[in-house]
Structure 1
Amino acid sequence: MPIAQIESLDHEGHGVAHVDGKTIFIDGALPGEVVEYSSYRKKPNFESAQAVRILQHSSQRVTPRCPHFGVCGGCSMQHLEPAAQVAAKQRVLEDNLWHIGKVKAERILPAIYGPTWGYRHRARLSARLVVKKGGMLIGFHEKRSSFIADMQSCEVLPRFVSDLLLPLRTLIASLSIAQRMPQIELAVGDDVTALVLRNMDPLTPADELQLQAFIQQHSTPAQPLQFWLQPKGPDTAYPLYPLDAPRLCYRLPEFGIEMPYKPTEFTQVNPHINQVLVKRAIDLLDPQPGEQIADMFCGLGNFTLPIARRGAQVLGMEGSRQLCQRALENASHNGLSHLTRFTEANLFEIDEAGFAALGDFDRMLIDPPRDGAIELVKSLGTALARRPDALKRIVYVSCSPSTLARDAGVLVNVHGYRLMAAGVVNMFPHTAHVESIAWFERP
């Protein structure tokens, strides 16, 4: 079996080695280690492999807490000490900024990190009746596979949710549509936990009684549960039982804001990190009373409303009509309607004329999906030329270091911004997912 010396980690958390001039990406291997490996994909210039035996261990290697690690695809870095995970993500961010965007941050922000276990308050679990594996399976997919991992617990889900995995198997298997319920979406709010069942066929009255019995057995005053049904797309989700459950929401105590939402609407997976992230974003943006601020890809108002709480006038733009409506309702719910307005727009297709038509802005926050905001940042030219002090500061919250780096290259090398600071946000501990925040200033 071939042996390799691991040199570094790549952006997906694989160990990187070179053997006979060929790059080998090795799952489960850490920098400094010597490993035996087995390749599962061979290409002319690289191979993908799995570490089979560790011959020389890294001092940063730890024993994974989860018994399903290595099979379940939900986590990829439990074998690496948490602080080293954060450091590896910071290197990924800096490497992307330089090699893709040709930019370098003048200052590295302290990493935002928090609880490393039980942090995941949003999840989409697959469900399937697999007779060969003993019945109903509920969980994440296996690594590099469409099969569902045989999960009996999950260390990144809140403990009380992890404890529901086996009872949920029994429940779903007992329903008349057990083979027509492929997914359970989880949303843990501050006051209630919603379990959205993707029912491809209607439930029978007996099925509904089963669901009610499950709630009565497993719901507690401290951790109330509520079942929702989703017969078709996400917009069709509705609460089933109990109808008098507390409203699903999360809070941002720093800003005195409460955010109601539907369980199928996008919210951050990690509420502990989200609170710190919002505070840092607002501190970096530093909105002033009376200023005009643009919040691009605003979602349900996660950053819009805290900006407004500082007294600025905020325009939130979002491609989803449903999220715009939710943001509008949340602004009213928090008494901020007079400082906010929301517009549905496809920001992936905006051009200079379209952006200039929105009016003048003093500052802007950008929080795009993984595709980034390349058309948006390219569209700033006319607005910047028209008013020299426009958009003097931009804060960019990213869930993809490569698209952040690409967009940063335009902001710095085309529009003349300085990249004042950047740092990672460890929204997903034990995964290779890198979220980050960057602050751009226009001289």
Structure 2
Amino acid sequence: MPIAIIQSLDHEGRGVTRSAEGKAVFVDGALPGEEVEYSVVRKKKTFEQAEITRIIRASAQRVTPKCAFFDKCGGCSMQHFDSNAQAAAKQRVLEDAFWHIARLKPAIIYPTVVGAPWGYRYRARIGVRHVPSKGGVLVGFHEKRSSYIADMSSCQILPPHISDMLPQMRRVIAGLSVPDRVPQIEIAVGDTETVLVFRNLVELSDDDLAQLRAFAEANAVQVWLQPAGPATAYCVHPDAAPALTYSMPEFDVTMNFRPNDFTQVNIPINRVLMRRAMQLLDPQPGERIADLFCGLGNFSLPIARSGATVIGVEGSDALVARAAENARANGLAERTEFYAANLFEATEDSMAAFGKLDKLLIDPPRDGAHAVVSALGEDAPRRIVYVSCNPASLARDAAVLTYEKGYRLIGAGIANMFPQTSHVESIALFERD
């Protein structure tokens, strides 16, 4: 079997080396600087995928994974890598994306936003499978490179009370009349409430509902059912369920959300990222600022709290309605306007329709905001703060802003929103004269 020294990490957290033929080899579980023996599991024309068979010389940054199921579960990919080193590696991924995709280097590298490395995942969607050959019901994330559900009884990245509940979730589903018709559980943890949404493909019996209510009561959680799309989710227990909320005390804002609304997975990191975004945006009373891909108002309301007028735009009608409700509940309705629009089809005319903007905050999904940045006209805002969950699409959009729209990339840095995974959340500042 081939032996090689690992040169770097790729954007998925795999070690990168070169084969004797010069092809890139991506080695699962390998770290930079390590000498490893590996076995190729997949060959392509320009690259190979491999897994470690033996570590000859380990990195000083290699650590023992905290989770007993790390080898099989696909929920994490970097538990074998020291937490501080993970953040540094993600910063390099961001800088490499800027350089290789856009030939750009940020003038300033912002300090990494970091938080607790464990128990941080307040939002999760876990799979459920009825597998008699493995003892019944499995509840967990998918196995690595597989559609199977990992056989796990705890999870170190979920909040401890959720991790402790996994065996009970298995038991309650196994006790239902249709254990093979509940394929998924959505977990949403707020400041005071925890909701579990059970996706049910068929109607449950009265006895099934009684078991779910007993489970909810015993674990002090809300249990919901979702018989079809997200809009069909409803609470089974308790009868008068308090709303899910998360707060941003620094900005005197509390957000209400439904369990299947999009919200940031890591609430503590979201608060620190919010502070960074507000420092870079520097909203002032009287300014008109657009928040694009605004969701339920996560950035809009802190911006409005500064005294600026905020125009929030989001593709989902339901989230636009939720953002407006949150603005009213926080006393910010007079400083906010929310609109539903498909920003992936933005044009110069559609952007101009929002009127003169002083500043812009963009927080798109993984595909980025290419249509938005391409549609910016001569009267575009002088400052843009771009929050990204994909370094590649951020770098692509940065090239448009820099080479076509006259902006400068002032600074960029990461927020370690998903410790133990390869996911890179980042923030960048662009300005033009």
Task: Please tell me the TM-score bracket, short chain as reference.
Answer: over 0.9
Deviation per residue, 1:85-142 (Å, 9 max, x gap): 0010000000101111222111000000100000000000100100111110000000
Q: CA deviation at 1:374?
A: 0.3
- Contact kept, 8 Å, 1:37 with 1:52, in 2: the verdict is yes
Please give the alpha-carbon distance, in whole angstroms, between the structure 2 residues aligned to 1:123 and 1:179.
21
State how many pairs are aligned. Answer: 432
Matches within 5 A, 1:206-245: 206-219=207-220, 225-245=221-241
CA RMSD between the two structures: 0.8
Please give the alpha-carbon distance, in whole angstroms, between the structure 1 residues aligned to 2:345 and 2:218.
50
Partner of 1:166: 167
- Contact kept, 8 Å, 2:138 with 2:152, in 1: the verdict is yes
- Contact kept, 8 Å, 1:33 with 1:54, in 2: the verdict is yes
Partner of 1:321: 317
Report whether the alignment pairs 1:68 with 2:64.
no
Partner of 1:18: 18
Partner of 1:4: 4
Q: 2:153 corresponds to which letter in structure 1?
A: Q
Q: 1:441 corresponds to which letter in structure 2?
A: E
Q: CA deviation at 1:383?
A: 3.0
- Contact kept, 8 Å, 1:353 with 1:382, in 2: the verdict is no
- Contact kept, 8 Å, 2:243 with 2:258, in 1: the verdict is no
After TM superposition, what 4+ stretches of structure 1 lie above 6 angstroms from structure 2? none
Please give the alpha-carbon distance, in whole angstroms, between the structure 2 residues aligned to 1:157 and 1:298.
26
Q: 1:410 corresponds to which letter in structure 2?
A: V
Corresponding residue SS for 1:26: strand
Q: CA deviation at 1:294?
A: 0.4
Partner of 2:280: 284
Please give the alpha-carbon distance, in whole angstroms, between the structure 1 residues aligned to 2:247 and 2:382.
30
Please give the alpha-carbon distance, in whole angstroms, between the structure 2 residues aligned to 1:216 and 1:353.
54
Matches within 5 A, 1:15-414: 15-20=15-20, 21-219=22-220, 225-384=221-380, 391-414=381-404
Partner of 1:423: 413
Partner of 2:426: 436
Please give the alpha-carbon distance, in whole angstroms, between the structure 2 residues aligned to 1:72 and 1:39.
20
- Contact kept, 8 Å, 1:191 with 1:246, in 2: the verdict is no
Q: 1:132 corresponds to which letter in structure 2?
A: S
Deviation per residue, 1:167-191 (Å, 9 max, x gap): 1100001111211110000000111
Corresponding residue SS for 2:343: coil
- Contact kept, 8 Å, 2:192 with 2:245, in 1: the verdict is yes
Q: CA deviation at 1:2?
A: 1.9
In structure 1, the gaps of 5 or more residues are 220-224, 385-390
Please give the alpha-carbon distance, in whole angstroms, between the structure 2 residues aligned to 1:274 and 1:231.
31
**TM-score (structure 2 length as normaliser):** 0.99
Q: 1:172 corresponds to which letter in structure 2?
A: I
Please give the alpha-carbon distance, in whole angstroms, between the structure 2 residues aligned to 1:408 and 1:242.
48
Corresponding residue SS for 1:251: strand
Partner of 1:387: none
Q: CA deviation at 1:392?
A: 1.1
Please give the alpha-carbon distance, in whole angstroms, between the structure 2 residues aligned to 1:217 and 1:23.
52
Q: 2:309 corresponds to which letter in structure 1?
A: Q
Deviation per residue, 1:364-423 (Å, 9 max, x gap): 000000000000001002433xxxxxx111000000000000001111111111111100
Please give the alpha-carbon distance, in whole angstroms, between the structure 1 residues aligned to 2:239 and 2:332.
28
Please give the alpha-carbon distance, in whole angstroms, between the structure 1 residues aligned to 2:266 and 2:217.
27
Please give the alpha-carbon distance, in whole angstroms, between the structure 2 residues aligned to 1:337 and 1:215.
36
- Contact kept, 8 Å, 1:198 with 1:230, in 2: the verdict is yes
Corresponding residue SS for 2:99: helix
- Contact kept, 8 Å, 2:213 with 2:236, in 1: the verdict is no
% identical aligned pairs: 59
- Contact kept, 8 Å, 2:417 with 2:425, in 1: the verdict is yes
Corresponding residue SS for 1:203: coil
Q: CA deviation at 1:22?
A: 2.1
Deviation per residue, 1:144-186 (Å, 9 max, x gap): 0000000111000011100000011000011112111100000
Corresponding residue SS for 1:383: coil
**TM-score (structure 1 length as normaliser):** 0.96
- Contact kept, 8 Å, 2:14 with 2:26, in 1: the verdict is yes
Please give the alpha-carbon distance, in whole angstroms, between the structure 2 residues aligned to 1:216 and 1:346.
41
- Contact kept, 8 Å, 1:191 with 1:247, in 2: the verdict is no
Q: CA deviation at 1:11?
A: 1.0
